[in-house]
Every structure is written in C-alpha cells, then in structure tokens.
Amino acid sequence: MATFTNQAFLSYRNNITASNIVTGEIREVLTAAKTAVTDTYTAGDTLTYVISLVNTGASALTGLTVTDDLGAYPFGTGSVTPLSYTDGSVRYFVNGTLQPTPTVTTVSPLTVTGLSLPAGGSGILIYETTVNNFAPLGRDGSILNTATVTGAGIPTPITVSETVTAEAAAFLTISKAISPASVADNESLTYTFVIQNFGNTATVATDEVIISDSFDPILNPITVTLDGTPLTEGTDYTYDETTGAFATLPGQITIPAATYTQNPTTGEWEVEPGSVTLTVVGTV
C-alpha cells in the first residue's frame, strides 16, 4: 500500500496562501508471493516455482503478464542465467481450477502472458526449471530468482523473489579397472578403484565410506594401497582368502570436496571432482 500527499496554493494580490496537506493511500488490489518447492539445489536438479496471486479488488484483472528472470546475474559485459525453463511445464489455476495453458512468449527470461483474475479471486502459476551449467555449486552458491507481474489495472509492477541455495553434500562415484585384462595362473593382477566426489562437501571418517568387492578369481596374497600409501589388513581393510571377500574398514577412506571454477569466457561452472585411488594387487 502506497501513500501520497497533496497541497494546494491560493494566490491573490501578490499574496500566496498554502492549504493544509492531505494524505491518501493507493490500495494495491493485486498481491503476489513466490515460493520454491525445495530450498536447495544440485547440478541438474528440477526446481519448481509457485507464484500466488490475489485480487482483492471489486473488478476482474485481465491481460496480466508474469516475467521471471530465471536467476540471471551479471557476468563480464553481459549476464548468464542459471535456470532453464522446462518446456510445457507451466500451469495456471484460478480459485483452485486448472485453466487453459497460458501462453509462454519467451523462455529466457520466462514470460507468461494472458493471465486473468476475477474480482476477489486467487490464482496460482506453477512452472518447472532445470539447474544448468551457469548455476554456482559451491557451498556458498545460491540462485536469486525474481519475477515481475504487470498488466492493466496495476499502476506499479509487482516484484517477488525467492532464493535457493546449493546443497551442502558429497556426491560420490566409483569406477573399477583391471590390468592386465588377460592373466594366467600364478600371475599378478591389479584392480584399481577410483572414487570421485562431485559434491561441495568432503567426506569424513564418520561418513563411513566403505569399498567392498568379491574377487573372482580369488587373489592370494594381496597388497592394498590408497593413493600410493600402503594399507594394513585388519586395521584398514579385511580380506577373506577363502572367499575373495574384500572390504575397507569404516572411516579409513575420506574423499575431498570438488572444486568449482567459472569459465572466464563462457561463464559456465566447471567441476574438478575430489578423488582417491585404491589399488589392490594380488596373485591369481
């Protein structure tokens, strides 16, 4: 709600007299709010946004437009946009009833036109976006997303925003290699396990990361190293020479967080995962 003031002046015979000052209010008939269904994100996530509209006026509002910047932020001499609109995802409800799909005229920024609200009615606009390569993923990463509502009967555009933050978590992958691929009895065989962390949080001992395998053919004896450092059976890992069952003990392996670098030319965020390498060498 905005206030305004007004004062009149009376002039006569070179005299000027001021009136009293009156104060009025311009009551906003349309209010809006914006909410993200989830308040954190990771790479490639789908984020759903909800814009709620309420018409408290005595007349219907037609021809409303909602424009969402999809989190665009300055970069270099221009800007980059960390969210991509999911084509066909927009839905519009009036007083709880699904309406015909509104028109999307642009996707970056997202522009939805032709929305209407009856007198005393409420509307909900829902749409989905995808976190793309321009979204910061570090522990301090966030996306500030702003939408603007305009249209006839709205003297001043209404702006609503929502902030989501990068999820603080580790995201691990594991790959396994064998060398040589062809081996004879009593020859040496090497298994190499590479564990990578694409998340912004390192794992710690209490996360109890465990690598387990069942070697077939059974290896005997074996030597185990982690990033080149020898591990000790019973302290760092267990191995059953009769079944080939192998497992590192909880808390013996930790993986550093990934590092994130924004490409100075494109503005895209590049990920260098944290990693450790476990090597098991044995005789077939």
Q: For residue 202, what pLDDT is reported?
A: 98
Position 5 scores a pLDDT of: 77
102 upstream amide cis, omega within 30 of 0: no
Which stretches within 235-277 are classed as H helix? none
> Architecture of 172-283 per CATH?
Sandwich (2.60)
- With contact defined as beta carbons under 8 Å apart, do 65 and 113 qualify? yes
Whole-number Å distance between alpha carbons of 28 and 32 = 10
Q: Could you list the pLDDT tens digit for every one of the 284 residues in the chain?
A: 456 578 777 787 778 888 778 775 555 689 999 999 999 999 999 999 999 999 999 999 999 999 999 999 999 999 999 999 999 999 999 999 999 999 999 999 999 999 999 999 999 999 999 999 999 999 999 999 999 999 988 989 999 999 999 999 999 999 999 999 888 888 999 999 999 999 999 999 999 999 999 999 999 999 999 999 999 999 999 999 999 999 999 999 999 999 999 999 999 999 999 999 999 999 99
Between the CA of residue 151 and those of 4, 14, 61, 99, 148, what are the distances in Å? 22, 46, 8, 19, 10
Q: Are 145 and 83 in contact (CB under 8 A)?
A: yes
For the domain spanning 28-166, the CATH number is: 2.60.40.740
Q: Do residues 211 and 278 lie in contact, with contact meaning Cβ atoms separated by under 8 Å?
A: yes
Q: Tell me the backbone φ, ψ of residue 32, rounded to 5 degrees.
A: -140, 155
Bridge partners (DSSP) listed for residue 103: 113
- Using alpha carbons, list the distances in angstroms from residue 176 to 3, 37, 116, 173, 251: 68, 38, 57, 10, 21
- For CATH 2.60.40.740, the residue range(s) in the chain are 28-166
Note the pLDDT of residue 7: 79
**189: β partners:** 282
Q: pLDDT value at position 146?
A: 98
- Long-range contact set of residues 49-52: C-beta below 8 Å, sequence gap at least 24: 49/126, 49/127, 49/128, 49/129, 49/145, 49/147, 49/162, 50/124, 50/125, 50/126, 51/124, 51/125, 51/126, 51/147, 51/149, 51/160, 52/122, 52/123, 52/124
